């Protein structure tokens, strides 16, 4: 299991242009626990999360939130998405999706996913970090992940996927690309998981996908919903 240090930023000085601002907090058991992305801590309510993301970067614009529903007719905010439009694209160049539990477990933030799919629409090509610099910065900041999956996509394009988690489940590379704790089957013993996918074009970063999940909180939310419907 990776021992995370405190107060981390995903990209060092030359890479702050893509700052995910991932941070860690100490868990009760003494192990460090991944706690936030883009300035939004896990565990926030929808209103607090929206305030936090705009405080971190005022360029984010809200998209319609997804409404969840309970058997008694109560509605709540389940998924909230914020994006930064690209100058030459109708789709957001930078998109953050936040998923919340139902009111039965406090309507708290349990998952954050960031998709930087068109960085060239936000930044000039010369300002984008090289692929190697991005990979090196990740390893320097976080230490060695549980696994690194590297692929040569074409003669000019390549990708790398990093996997970290703070739980007790052994990493199984035989089940890539979605091993346990990264396969959408939530388990409390996975702790908090982080998966980062990077793709390059001509050695410049062309795509970044990052997903941060609080597995125990997600499971607690499911259990609270079941108990409420009995």
Strand partners, 105: none
For residue range 153-187, list pLDDT tens digits in order: 787 888 889 888 888 888 888 888 888 889 888 98
* pTM across the whole model: 0.81
In sequence order, what E strands does the chain have? 23-26, 32-37, 40-41, 61-62, 66-69, 75-85, 92-100, 109-116, 147-152, 157-165, 192-201, 204-214
For residue range 205-219, list pLDDT tens digits in order: 788 888 889 999 999
Whether residue 204 contacts residue 17, with contact meaning beta carbons closer than 8 Å, is answered with no
If residue 133 lies in a helix (H) or strand (E), which one and from where to where? helix 131-142
Choose between 174 and 32: higher pLDDT.
174
Work out the end-to-end distance of the chain between its first and last CA atoms, rounded to an integer number of angstroms. 38
The angle formed by the CA atoms of residues 40, 17 and 25, to the nearest 5 degrees, is: 35
């Amino acid at each position: 299991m990776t021992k995370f240090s405190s107060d981390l930023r995903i990209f060092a000085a030359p890479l702050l242009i893509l700052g995910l601002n991932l941070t860690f907090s100490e868990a009760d058991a003494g192990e460090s626990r991944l706690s936030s992305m883009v300035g939004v801590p896990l565990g926030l309510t929808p209103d607090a999360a929206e305030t936090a993301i705009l405080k971190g970067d005022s360029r984010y614009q809200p998209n319609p939130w997804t409404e969840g529903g309970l058997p008694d007719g109560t509605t709540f905010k389940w998924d909230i998405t914020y994006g930064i439009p690209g100058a030459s694209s109708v789709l957001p160049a930078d998109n953050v999706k936040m998923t919340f539990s139902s009111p039965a477990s406090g309507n708290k933030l349990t998952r954050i996913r960031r998709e930087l799919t068109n960085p060239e629409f936000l930044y000039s090509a010369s300002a984008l970090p090289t692929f190697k610099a991005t990979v090196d910065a990740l390893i320097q900041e976080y230490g060695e992940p549980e696994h690194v999956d590297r692929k040569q996509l074409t003669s000019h394009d390549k990708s790398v996927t990093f996997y970290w988690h703070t739980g007790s489940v052994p990493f199984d590379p035989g089940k890539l690309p979605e091993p346990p704790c990264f396969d959408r089957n939530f388990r409390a013993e996975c702790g908090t998981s982080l998966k980062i996918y990077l793709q390059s074009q001509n050695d410049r970063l062309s795509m970044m996908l990052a997903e941060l999940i609080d597995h125990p909180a997600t499971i607690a939310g499911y259990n609270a919903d079941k108990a409420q419907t009995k």
